[in-house]
């Protein structure tokens, strides 16, 4: 039994990281270039392969073959360490996210820990160290300013991020992410209460604070992943690229990989918490056959892909915030809104019968 658990866990790790996440990262870059081209009435990548589909492979070889240059004044050890610190948290946090129901009787989650969301926050918050250390170790003013901006920004929005999910766990009564998905299957998605058994009118009242939690959490994820309009740590027009200005070759590629992996992981967490995870109305789970297990996995990643497209659409539509506006939004609006939302849910919960 122990050997079966070890083998299935290894297969899930290899499958989700090397078969799903890394190809998704590569083709998210391609998709972003296509989406930006569409929004700006351009063609985008269209030379390497049909429709430019082989462009990510060409980019990989380009980054591998570029000169790996280390500035003479940089702190070499931390300069080399920082890109790895930036990419690892995003790959580790996906381990507790349920990406399907079951497949051949095996649960489609790498580690079903009972404090799943706390694990996500604890590991994801480490990514700021990769940015701050990289900015400092480069021994250059623009990367240093980018590192300082990133640390202030991520600390500010982590508060809103954490407070936004508290109402969910007050309703579900568990921190386990599989329990959150199971609750939504039985009672309706948190931002789509008409999906499921939401006959109690008080549960419809919960849809309002759930929508608030969803909006605060999603916007805070934008800030946590340094995506526009919150990309102040990079801000090419101001900081020439910010914390990764002095990086090249594969170390630059690792920062790039970390940003897109964090976007994918953030989208996966949003899908799990608010959009029913792998569930779709009318489709049974994997206990009814392996084909339904594969469909559940496909549904989950289709939802993730839709959110990634939304991330890209926002990036190429909205202008960047000024830094004082970014900090004011985090401390004077989102923090208070998320805190008030907890009290609203606490006031409604006593009227909802436990099932």
Identify the pLDDT of residue 269.
93
CA distances 84 to 125, 254, 262, 280, Å, are 14, 7, 13, 36
Reported pTM: 0.91
In angstroms, rounded to a whole number, what is the distance separating the alpha carbons of residues 271 and 265? 10
Tokens found for residue 74: 């940089």
Does a cis peptide bond (omega within 30 degrees of 0) precede residue 229? yes
pLDDT tens per residue, range 212-266: 999 999 999 988 888 878 887 777 666 676 777 888 888 888 888 888 888 999 9
Give the contacts of 33 (CB within 8 A, at least 6 positions apart).
44, 45, 55
Which DSSP string corresponds to 207-256? HHHHHHHHHHHHHHHHHHTT-TTS-TTT-HHHHTTGGGTT--HHHHHHHH
In angstroms, rounded to a whole number, what is the distance separating the alpha carbons of residues 18 and 158? 29
pLDDT tens per residue, range 10-40: 888 887 888 888 888 888 888 988 998 988 8
Confidence category of residue 341, pLDDT binned at 50, 70, 90? very high
Opening angle at CA 39, ends 34 and 44, nearest 5: 30
In angstroms, rounded to a whole number, what is the distance separating the alpha carbons of residues 308 and 217? 15
Confidence category of residue 299, pLDDT binned at 50, 70, 90? very high
What percent of the chain is helix, strand and coil (3-state, nearest 5)?
Answer: 70, 0, 30
């Amino acid at each position: 039994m122990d050997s079966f658990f070890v083998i299935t866990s290894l297969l899930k790790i290899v499958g989700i990281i090397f078969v799903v996440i890394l190809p998704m990262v590569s083709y998210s870059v391609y998709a972003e270039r296509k989406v930006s081209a569409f929004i700006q009435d351009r063609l985008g990548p269209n030379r390497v392969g049909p429709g430019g589909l082989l462009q990510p492979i060409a980019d990989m070889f380009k980054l591998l073959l570029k000169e790996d240059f280390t500035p003479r004044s940089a702190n070499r050890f931390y300069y080399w360490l920082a890109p790895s610190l930036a990419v690892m948290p995003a790959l580790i946090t996906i381990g507790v996210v349920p990406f399907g129901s079951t497949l051949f009787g095996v649960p489609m989650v790498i580690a079903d820990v009972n404090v799943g969301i706390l694990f996500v926050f604890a590991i994801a918050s480490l990514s700021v160290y990769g940015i701050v250390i990289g900015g400092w170790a480069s021994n250059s003013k623009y990367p240093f300013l980018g590192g300082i901006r990133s640390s202030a920004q991520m600390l500010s929005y982590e508060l809103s991020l954490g407070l936004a999910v508290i109402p969910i766990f007050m309703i579900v009564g568990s921190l386990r992410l599989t329990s959150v998905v199971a609750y939504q299957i039985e009672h309706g998605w948190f931002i789509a209460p008409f999906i499921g058994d939401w006959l109690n009118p008080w549960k419809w009242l919960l849809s309002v604070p759930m929508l608030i939690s969803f909006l605060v959490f999603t916007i805070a994820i934008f800030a946590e992943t340094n995506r526009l309009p919150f990309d102040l740590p990079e801000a090419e027009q101001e900081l020439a690229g910010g914390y990764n200005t002095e990086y090249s070759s594969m170390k630059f590629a690792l920062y790039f990989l970390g940003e897109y992996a964090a976007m994918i992981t953030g989208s996966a967490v949003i899908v799990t918490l608010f959009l029913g995870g792998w569930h779709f109305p009318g489709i049974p789970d994997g206990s009814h056959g392996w084909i339904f297990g594969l469909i559940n996995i496909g549904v989950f990643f289709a939802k993730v892909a839709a959110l990634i497209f939304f991330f890209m659409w926002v990036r190429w539509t909205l202008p960047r915030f000024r830094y004082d506006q970014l900090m004011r939004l985090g401390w004077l609006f989102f923090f208070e809104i998320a805190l008030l939302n907890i009290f609203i849910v606490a006031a409604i919960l006593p009227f909802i019968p436990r099932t």
